[in-house]
Structure 1
Amino acid sequence: MTLLTLFIQTSLYTKSRVESLMQQELPTNLAYLGAEVALELAPSIHLSRSLANNPLIERWVKEGSPDAELTAVSDEMAKTFQDLSFASVFFVVNDGEEIDYYYFSNTLKTAKLVESNFDDAWYFEYLNSMKPYELNLDSNEFTGDSLQMFVNYSGSKINHLGQPMIIGGVGLDMQKLADLISNYRLGEQGRASLANHQGLVEVNSNNSIITDLTTTPELESLLGHKGQVVKQVTYQGQELFLGVVWLEDLQRYLVVEVPLSEFMTPIKQQFYKSLFLGGLFLLASLILLYPLAVSLSRPLVKFQQQLSDITLSLDLSKRLETSDQAELGDLASQINSLLKRIEQAISGVLVSSEELTSTATHLAQTAGLVGRNTDKQQEVSQTMAAAVEQMSSSVAEITSTMEELSASSTQIADHSQSVVEVANLTLDSSKKGADAMQNLQERMGDIHQDSANSLQEIIQLGSKSKEISKVMDLINTLADQTKLIAFNAALEASSAGESGKRFSVVASEIRRLADSVTDSTHEIEDRIQEIQDSISRLVITSEKGADSIQLGMQVSSETAEDLNALVQAASKTSNAAQQISLSTKQQKTASGQVVVALHDIASASSHNAESVRNITDVSESMLKMSQQLTELVHEFKVKR
């Protein structure tokens, strides 16, 4: 438990320490170091801007950079150089034709910048970047092999090419900035370094592990972020806590690396120290607890001996004795109570075993096991066996007789059931015939009604045809009058001469139409006469069919009465057959019940004989068991 507690505590402390480092310490130190670097660079950026917009230099450039005033310009640069002890001061003049570079470090030096010169590439790259300022770690022919952090700042004046006329700045001694970064410590092994935008470390301490942030994908993922990034990475087989922040003023990445081992070593040392102290404490506890354990175990040993003595002797009158008043004393009291109850139970069992022995002996005497040689017991045994055999023989004869009677009852019941089925079929057929005749009467009534309706409609049709004849007479009369009018109109048209020719044509057409109407009415009259003749014949036929239907209805009514009488007779026959079948079934059931009862009596007789033998066996077993129980109970010692 001590080891587990220390391990859990160490794990929790390690987790808490790592979370504190990644969420608080490392971000705070990154921000603090970044602020210090920015504070170190702030004067350089400010003076570079002042130099790029210096009125004296601007006026000198506008005047064509005369050599006569170059001393004044050199003095202005020396003043700036001495104010904050920079490594160098410089500015570039670009009038659109030539590019002149002025460098001051104790003395003024000049040079021409051309794009084809590799050493001058920094200037043209800065122009292409269009940034207001930048920081460039570089060296040139004036600095020699020593690197300087040049602050390039664009002035506000623009030449005719749209480029800054003056770019001024200062060169910082990287040693001071490198000392600031390399002297930084987070813990004992935490180091800081400065990397450019491509991830290459430019400034670091001697013990820094990471020299390039692009060597592994895990490190490369830290690039491209403008804010803080804190991550646990593995580099060259070593676990590191890595913090990266982008310094906008410096245009560089500030990198802080802390080995994981620096945090784990103190924690492990503390774990081993705690483990050692815990072991000492445990050993001291064992030494102190040994006498107490001995004093506590002594009553238990005595307690165990007393229980062993009771177990071996089976003397339930003995009790446990102890001077302890705590849990052991309570246990002894409960065991004594248990022994007392067991003693009472054994005493009761002893009394019961004696009674069981007496009962078993009495049962054995009843079954004939005791005193088998006496004449009385033999007589009892013989009487019981004879009674059982005589009862079994009588039951066998009665069972045989009742089985024959049951077989006869079964045949009668089967035949009566056949009669019932035939009677039921007759009754069903009679009911179906009565129902069919009833449906026939209903259909004959419907036919009679339909025939009467048809006859009535035929008569009405004849009346209508006569009315049509009257209408046709009227049409013929109108046609005749129309022809007469047309004839008169023709006479009048002929007397009218030329003016009546047209009217004559109309009169002629009217007369021709009247003739056509007359011919059509004659044909219609002929057809109507034929229809009337057919209607007359149909009326006669319908009257005959109605008489036949009426006769059929009378015959079907008489047949229906006969079928109803047949149904009533079949119903009475079916009821009588069912009563006979029910009686025979009851007789069959009673016979079967009697046979079953006789079989039960026979089985009971056999069972009684078997029971007598079982009683004998049970009596012998009970005698043996009672003897064994008595011997077992007598092994316990109880108070009488």
Structure 2
Amino acid sequence: MTELWQRLSQTKRMFIAFGTFMVLVTVMSILFQANFFTSARLKHLADFEIPTQLEKLALEIRLQLEPSIQTSRILANDTELHSRMANTDPDERKQLVESRLLNILEGFPARTLFLASHLPDDSRYYQLNLGIMQDRPLSRNNPDDAWYYTFISSGQTYELHLDTNEFSGADLLLFVNYRNELAAADSTPLLVGGVALEMRALTDLISNYRLGEHGFVSLITSDGTIQTSSDTSILKRIRATSAFEQLLANTERKVIELKHDGQDYMLSSIWVDSLKRWLVIEVPKAELTGPINKQMWAAQAIGLGLMLVALVLIFPVARSLTRPLRQVQTQLGRITQSLDLSRRVHINDQAELGDLASQVNQLLERLQQTVSEILRSSGHLNEAAVRLAETTGLGQIRGDQLQAGQTMAAAIEQMSSSVAEITSTMEELSASSTQIADHSQSVVDVANLTLDSSRRGADAMQELEQRMTGIHNDYAQSLQDILELGNQSKEISKVMDLINNVADQTKLIAFNAALEASSAGEAGKRFSVVAGEIRRLADSVTESTRSIEERIQAIQSSISRLVLTSEKAVNSVQSGMDVSVATAHELNELVEAATRTSNAAQQISLSTKQQKTASSQVVIALRDIANASSTNAQSVRSISDISEELLAMAQALNTLMQEFRSEQPGQGSPATPDA
């Protein structure tokens, strides 16, 4: 993987790095947005929408039951009727009660009215059902009268009771039982009266109510009896669980989340005091979060599209950023092909690549100077080889050969006369040369070790400089991203201000609506409730936006601190880069000095070895005086061969150096950069 990465161009590397970073940021943003909106939606449902729907349904039920309850209260507290019944014969009491019930029916049409009277000599039950008046004596042994004795012993002012009796037939009716405020000596109320309503209307209201497509409402008594529920309701299946008990003790109208048969549900309940029962709502959680999930998928699709557009735009940006590097590469390739050391690298970049081009130009200038020096030295070497050839007689071949031979013979005779005197001195010199050669080799080894260590240090410092440059660029990019994030958070703050203004205007409108509803009297009561709900909704929005603004301010504070920290880090990295550049320059100078030292040590070792060999040869020649002539002749031939080789090497070096095009230092021509 590392090898493949190193083969990629700088443009592709930058494209992959920027693209990967953008993909990660986009994915994290979408996930954060999905979690945030889902949590906010569920919180809104649990804290406001579901309780509000329950309160709305409970209000409708109260509005339907309130006339019946008030009628039952009037009938049960008719003390005058009880007095007249006490002073009337038993045969006339039925007519008296029937007259009173018919009178009530004129003001409140109902299917059934009933009255239970308690007199010292008689306790009877009267019922006017569909215009038919019937009565019977009350008895504890009659199952149809069990409700009466249960109610008077409960001490309640009124209750709602589902029941049937022999007078009303098999139809299930909702009896509103109301007791008289006065009681006999045995605590039995004087009268118990009320209205019997058809349960079907109330059941249809509750059964037909829907929150979404599969959100149902059920009616449960205080003892946990489920009286009305949907066929698909889960209440019957969770009746024995603790969640069902929580619903019957939910005085704060909290929403309970429950998982049943692999599906999540949201349940809540409200106690309807006028109905004396619990209203329980159950909604599948997936149905409530479905629209949110659709919005999240749409947001993800939009984010993916924007990310693809950004990736398309990143590649030209990355290519423009690497254009100076390609220009440097092209100009160096042309210089390498032409070997024209007078040309220079020119780019418009003033940053790191500009510094690199400047250093390359300095290197080219020094190479130009070095090649010029080598050219001059090769000329001197050629002249010395020619003089050496002339000295050995190679230059006199076409001239007087005899004169060259006599010159060499005279030199040999003079050398023979000095052999005896020099022999002892050369033996001592040979021993000294041997010791010097041994020590010079040790110096060469130490110089080579120093050179290797210096080169490794210089390479390590160059790598450190490159990595510090990369870190500096990463910090600068991170600082720019942080500043952009701060600007976006400020835009969000402006949106929150707009939402606050809308909420304030909504509360003002709700307040005006409440005033209009109060002035409308009874007809505006329902509108007053709606205005109150709108005002509470506006207050909830204001509190939510205030919480969001506090969090945004905390994020902006964190961004400010992060910007200061990033600026300090960038300055620290820049300082480290300056130090590393200075250290690299000093290490390069140390490498050059170590190179010169190693070359000098090798030259000294070579010279001492040559000196040792020469002195040994001289000693041997001095000891073997008899063979001096032949040895000297051989030496002359060897010198002639060496001079020929030296002359050829000097000419080859001169030819090789002529391949470099080098003008005078400071007169270099620029290399034409590519676009």
TM-score, normalising length from structure 2?
0.50
Query: Aligned runs of 1:540-551 on 2, under 5 Å?
Result: none
1:116 aligned to which of 129, 141, 161? 141
Query: Aligned runs of 1:51-62 on 2, under 5 Å?
Result: 51-62=75-86
C-alpha distance after superposition, 1:189-235 (max 9, x if no partner): 43322210122221345664434762322222222344423222223
Distance 1:288 1:624, change over 3 A: closer
Determine the structure 2 residue equivalent to 1:460: none
2-side partners of 1:255 and 1:377: how far apart? 124
Q: SS at 2:267's partner residue?
A: strand
Determine the structure 1 residue equivalent to 2:36: 12
1:348 CA drift (Å): 9.3
Query: Aligned runs of 1:306-325 on 2, under 5 Å?
Result: 306-307=331-332, 318-321=343-346, 325=348
Determine the structure 1 residue equivalent to 2:46: 22
Answer yes or no: is the 8 Å Cα contact 1:41–1:250 preserved in 2: yes
2-side partners of 1:125 and 1:236: how far apart? 40
- Within the alignment, does 1:140 sit opposite 2:165 as a pair? yes
- Unpaired runs of at least 5, structure 1: 354-372, 386-608
1-side partners of 2:295 and 2:445: how far apart? 83
Aligned residue pair count = 392
2-side partners of 1:56 and 1:276: how far apart? 77
1:153 CA drift (Å): 1.0
1:314 CA drift (Å): 8.5
Q: SS at 2:42's partner residue?
A: helix
Query: Aligned runs of 1:570-581 on 2, under 5 Å?
Result: none
Cα RMSD over matched residues?
4.2
1:35 CA drift (Å): 2.6
Answer yes or no: is the 8 Å Cα contact 2:47–2:254 preserved in 1: no
Determine the structure 1 residue equivalent to 2:499: none
1:320 CA drift (Å): 3.2
Distance 1:290 1:384, change over 3 A: closer
The more displaced of 88-97 and 20-29 is 88-97
1:319 CA drift (Å): 3.3
Distance 1:226 1:279, change over 3 A: closer
Distance 1:629 1:32, change over 3 A: farther
1:379 aligned to which of 428, 433, 436? 428
Which amino acid letter does the alignment assign opposite residue 276 of structure 1? A
- Unpaired runs of at least 5, structure 2: 1-22, 375-421, 448-595, 604-652, 666-675
Answer yes or no: is the 8 Å Cα contact 2:114–2:128 preserved in 1: yes
TM-score, normalising length from structure 1?
0.52
Q: SS at 1:100's partner residue?
A: strand
1-side partners of 2:177 and 2:263: how far apart? 39
Query: Aligned runs of 1:91-110 on 2, under 5 Å?
Result: 91-95=115-119, 98-105=122-129, 106-110=131-135
C-alpha distance after superposition, 1:379-411 (max 9, x if no partner): 3565899xxxxxxxxxxxxxxxxxxxxxxxxxx
1:167 CA drift (Å): 0.8
Q: SS at 2:117's partner residue?
A: strand
Determine the structure 1 residue equivalent to 2:247: 222
Answer yes or no: is the 8 Å Cα contact 1:135–1:250 preserved in 2: yes
Distance 1:306 1:137, change over 3 A: farther
The more displaced of 310-319 and 97-106 is 310-319
Answer yes or no: is the 8 Å Cα contact 1:134–1:151 preserved in 2: yes
Determine the structure 2 residue equivalent to 1:88: 112
Which amino acid letter does the alignment assign opposite residue 335 of structure 1? L
Which amino acid letter does the alignment assign opposite residue 154 of structure 2? S
1:301 CA drift (Å): 4.7
Query: Aligned runs of 1:266-345 on 2, under 5 Å?
Result: 266-283=291-308, 301-307=326-332, 318-321=343-346, 325=348, 327=349, 330=351, 332-343=353-364
Query: Aligned runs of 1:125-164 on 2, under 5 Å?
Result: 125-164=150-189
Give percent identity, aligned residues only.
31
1:164 CA drift (Å): 1.2
Answer yes or no: is the 8 Å Cα contact 2:342–2:368 preserved in 1: no
Determine the structure 2 residue equivalent to 1:582: none
1:618 aligned to which of 437, 443, 462? 443
Answer yes or no: is the 8 Å Cα contact 1:181–1:192 preserved in 2: yes
Distance 1:616 1:74, change over 3 A: closer
1:14 CA drift (Å): 0.7
Q: SS at 1:146's partner residue?
A: strand
2-side partners of 1:175 and 1:221: how far apart? 28
Q: SS at 1:147's partner residue?
A: strand
Answer yes or no: is the 8 Å Cα contact 1:96–1:161 preserved in 2: no
- Within the alignment, does 1:39 sit opposite 2:63 as a pair? yes
Determine the structure 1 residue equivalent to 2:570: none
1:341 CA drift (Å): 3.5
Answer yes or no: is the 8 Å Cα contact 1:100–1:110 preserved in 2: yes
2-side partners of 1:230 and 1:285: how far apart? 44
Distance 1:618 1:259, change over 3 A: same
1:286 CA drift (Å): 5.8
2-side partners of 1:15 and 1:182: how far apart? 30
Which amino acid letter does the alignment assign opposite residue 168 of structure 1? G
2-side partners of 1:379 and 1:625: how far apart? 29
Answer yes or no: is the 8 Å Cα contact 1:52–1:166 preserved in 2: yes
Answer yes or no: is the 8 Å Cα contact 2:184–2:190 preserved in 1: yes
1:5 CA drift (Å): 2.7
